[in-house]
Structure 1
Amino acid sequence: MKKFIVSLLAFASLAAAPLVLSSGCAATATRQSTGEYVDDTAITAKVKTELIRDPVVKARQVDVTTFKGTVQLSGFVDSEEAKTRAAQIARSVNGVHDVQNNISVKAATTP
């Protein structure tokens, strides 16, 4: 009987292992699954690449982060046109669900 109980406990712990391990891969409101992280990294790279190619936006002035398909743009640009263009570029990238444009336009300096 003791052997049966030990065997049953061993089997139960092995059966529960996949449930415990898979819960570590699930996404929550503040965390991403591994797949989401990879997707977001690819989206960020695509947005940055398109910003570099654009003649209006100075890509070094714009920071790009992505979380669950939402792209956040931040930084300081020289013009309102550059701010608007950066958001347009981000929206055009496949996989982007939303764009948060937190870019600030630098104040014009007078000599």
Structure 2
Amino acid sequence: MKPILVATLVALGALATTGCAVTSGQSTVGQYVDDATVATRVKARFAEDSQVSAMRIQVEALKGTVQLAGFATSQAEKDRAGQIARAVPDVKEVRNNIIVKPASN
């Protein structure tokens, strides 16, 4: 039950922080909703994965292109985040801009 609750909270947070502005010429309301859904799915899968921190990695989507940003504690975490994002339905491309910054002791 806890993983589902965490995934739901992360998904709601992702929707709340993506904003609601649809800029003329950028995308339609339908495309915006699709992009928000894709980003939410990626964040939810991060929350379910034990190797990836959904809290340190931001996800944005535009017309099926997902951009990942934030920090990972290892190259393996960065790579896993990219794999997860690529496996989400409707993701056409992943731009993995996560910075690897080992945790300080």
Identity %: 43
Structure 1 equivalent of residue 47 of structure 2: 52
The 5 A counterparts of 1:18-29 are 28=25
Structure 1 equivalent of residue 76 of structure 2: 81
Structure 2 equivalent of residue 92 of structure 1: 87
Question: TM-score, normalised on structure 2?
Answer: 0.74
Question: TM-score, normalised on structure 1?
Answer: 0.70
Matched, 1:65 2:60: yes
Q: Is the radius of gyration larger for structure 1 or structure 2?
A: 1
- Cα RMSD after superposing both structures: 1.7
Which segments of 5 or more consecutive residues in structure 2 lack a partner in the other structure?
1-21
Q: 1:40 to 1:102 in 2, by over 3 A?
A: same
| Matched pairs, number | 83
Please give the alpha-carbon distance, in whole angstroms, between the structure 1 residues aligned to 2:103 and 2:77: 14
Which of the two has greater helix per residue? Answer: 1
Please give the alpha-carbon distance, in whole angstroms, between the structure 1 residues aligned to 2:102 and 2:56: 14
Deviation at 1:78, TM superposition (A): 0.5
Partner SS, residue 97 of structure 2? strand
Moved over 6 A (4+): none
* Structure with higher RCO (Cα < 8 A, 6+ apart): 2
Deviation at 1:107, TM superposition (A): 4.0
